[in-house]
Amino acid sequence: MLKYTGTRATASGKKNLKLKDTYEETVTKKHFMMCIDNHGYESSLEKRKLYEVLTDRIAEKHYQVRVIDESGKDYLYPEKFFAPVRLLHITKEKLELEAA
């Protein structure tokens, strides 16, 4: 059974996080991570694909990351599903322009 954060389901479905009121205040910057595991979320995440990640300090305390997935919306997923990547500044600028 999935649990929900506001009107969006948490990807883990295991934790009942109450982030609705605090999420918008905690988002500070965008960055990108690579999906390394999508077990159970094959339709939402593709392995070896870069995803835009929104910083969410509350979710991080629960070992989750807020990712803009294949639906184009941001959802919470276990942080172990993603690996950090270091991008060249010009590449990051191009990705951010494309996402805007």
Q: What is the pLDDT of residues 24-33, one digit of tens each?
A: 544 456 689 9
- CB atoms near residue 49 (< 10 Å): 12
Which pLDDT does position 16 carry in this prediction?
Answer: 42
Q: Which H/E stretch holds residue 93?
A: helix 89-99
Where in the sequence is the domain holding 87, given as residue range(s)?
4-99
The mean per-residue pLDDT over the stretch 38-42 comes to 95
Of the pLDDT bands very low, low, confident and very high (cuts 50, 70, 90), residue 99 is low
Residue 38 pLDDT > 80, yes or no?
yes
3-state secondary structure of 58: helix
Dist CA 51 CA 34 (whole Å):
6
Dist CA 90 CA 9 (whole Å):
34
Total domain count for the chain? 1
